[in-house]
Structure 1
Amino acid sequence: MAKAFDCPTCGRRHEDLSRDHGFTLPDEVWALPEDERESQARYSDDLCQWGDRFFILCILPVPLIGEDDYFGWGVWAEVEPEVFERYLDLYEEDGRDEPPHPCKLANRLEPYPGTSLGTRLLVQFQAPDERPTLILPEGDKSRLAQEQRDGIDAARHHELLGLDLA
């Protein structure tokens, strides 16, 4: 049975379980005092530059078992300047044929204690109307990598949302 939840983004109550959780900025940028953040970082809903560091907002999908859908972590990936420039070059084009590029996770995912800032990932560009996706490397044995490969059941979905199943 689905439970309603209050959306932290729009402030409205929804009658179905959220399928995503997103971060406003990379953790280190968000941690800056507001005046420093405003003067030192350039950012939009999709991109962030802080000094000589570059970030792209991506989706880290975790399939939902028994459904043709996924739970999407809207997280920031830190990329090399060349990858950032390539993303800008392809921003309005289909980048799905582009090979994946190495990157690092720029947000802490509390439900995954073994996954931290700097966790190595691969970013795969998508069509212009889709955020890039993040893939954990094949050899990664973390819980997040396992769940990305195998999916999560309804109980884990509830757990990620912090909902009580009782």
Structure 2
Amino acid sequence: MINSAESFVCSVCGQSHGGLSTDTAFTLPDVVWAIPESERDQHSKWTSDLCQMGERYFIRCLLPISFIDQPGYYGWGVWAEVDWPVFNRYLEIYEADGSAEPPASGLLSNEVAAYGETVGLPVSIQFGPSGQRPTLSFTEGEDHRFAREAASGMSNSRYHEVLAVRGHK
């Protein structure tokens, strides 16, 4: 039996996994999530990877923050708002290897409580192999705490602070 203090229930598969969670995934961009559930389908359409709300376009990405004190990284599954040409290009290469594509620009579309106000931060999106979400990084010179930690890595104590903010005891 897995010790509940050292396990988590996956929000995707619903199963209990040993260890502590090393990722957080946002289901939708905040602006779409804010639409009342009864009206959400009328104003937007989405999959687990793509979202459109009127003339606004979003791509779900992975923002990895390397651990300093242990192997691996903490993965933030966040959404980036992009212009139509970027969204359209992603649709064109969705089932292909997009690793050779130049980075695209976007804006972070989720409020990440562990870092304060994050919606609207400028980001860079790198498409990758088919079957993998694009990787997100912050634009050069961004001085927000989230950007600084993404560049320098996350200590073990900071990792536990993030888990506490997410409701782990």
TM-score (norm 2): 0.89
**2:154 is paired with a residue of what secondary structure?**
coil
1:18 equivalent in alignment to 2:28: no
Deviations 1:101-136 (A, max 9, x none): 1100111000111x4211110111010021001111
Contiguous gaps of at least 5 residues in structure 1: none
Write the distance in 2 (CA, Å) between the matches of 1:117 and 1:153. Answer: 24
Offset, 1:78: 0.3
Q: Could you tell me the percent identity over the aligned residues? A: 46
> Which 4+ residue blocks in structure 1 deviate beyond 6 angstroms?
none
Contact 2:64/2:74, CA 8 A, preserved across alignment: yes
RMSD over aligned CA atoms reads 1.5
Q: How many residues align?
A: 162
Give the Cα separation in 1 of the matches to 2:150 and 2:95: 27
Name 2:113's counterpart in structure 1.
110
Q: 1:99 to 1:68 in 2, by over 3 A?
A: farther
Matched ranges for 1:3-152 at <5 A: 3-113=6-116, 115-152=117-154
Q: 1:159: Cα distance to partner?
A: 1.3
CA distance in 1, matches of 2:37, 2:154: 37
Runs of 5+ in structure 2 lacking a partner? Answer: none
Residue 90 of structure 1 aligns to which amino acid in structure 2? I
